[in-house]
Amino acid sequence: MRLTYIWEKATPEAKVIIIVLMIFSVFAWSVMASKALQMRRARKLNHYFDAEFRAQKSVFGIYDRHLPVDGCPLFVVYQEGCTDLDGNLKLPEGGRRTYASIKMLEHVKRALEGAVSREALQLESGLVLLAVAVSGAPFLGLLGTVWGVMDAFGSVAMAASNGNRADLAAMAPGVSAALITTVAGLLVAIPSMFGYNWLVHNLRVLTVEMDNFAQSLASRMETEFLKDDE
């Protein structure tokens, strides 16, 4: 096969670069698959949780039931906000205050903003590997190609100086073997680029959903617990 022949003609440096690119490719595809599943599950759970939250008559309707919902960003934001508000409203003898102050609600808003930021960072974790694959793989491939072409021309020059014939047939195997590293780099970078852009788009959508939910939750808390005269 042509690829087998080209691999045999490749320099040791080119083979090392191709192996590194193969390792990059495995990690990149693993990240793309795991993050795609994570974001798909997050979108699904967000949809169900948002519908359940809107059906509640009280802000604490879901919080008081102590339901564990793993992998749902909106629930994490909701839990953070309710925990903060509940801590401010709790009375020493038990129960909650009927009303909250503006200072309390401002503190809850900051807690919600922090929760949104942390969830966004958690969803973003791992994407840096794809960014490295997109930007670094073509340069690694180019390095292997330049190195291989340099080696091929050097071999031809040495053959010519020794009185041997230096023609295209003698140079072609080395050049073709050098070009395979660029192909390998592009095969890693192109899928990683599409996957990275798709995941970043979904991350932005989820972040906007969390921001909107945090604002909606804060408004509902104000409506339910803030006195009209404050």
- The predicted-structure confidence for 24-46, as pLDDT tens digits, reads as follows 899 999 999 999 999 999 999 99
Residue 228, classed as helix, strand or coil, is coil
- Mean pLDDT computed over 111-136: 91
pLDDT band, residue 103 (cuts 50/70/90) = confident
- HSE (side-chain half, CA atoms, 13 Å) at 132: 13
Distance, in Å, from the CA atom of 144 to the CA atom of 138, rounded to the nearest integer, reads 10
Beta-bridge partner residues of 132: none
pLDDT over 90 (residue 175): no
Checking if the pLDDT of 62 tops 60, the result is: yes
pLDDT at position 230 is 45
CA distance 15 to 1: 17
What is the distance between the alpha carbons of residues 159 and 155, in angstroms, rounded to a whole number? 6
The pLDDT mean for the chain works out to: 85
Q: How far apart are the first and last CA of the chain?
A: 80
Confidence class for position 95, pLDDT limits 50, 70, 90: confident
Residue type, 20: V
Phi-psi region of 95 (alpha: psi -120 to 50; beta: other; left: phi over 0): left
- Angle between the N-to-C axes of helices 73-89 and 102-124, in degrees from 0 to 180, rounded to the nearest 10: 150
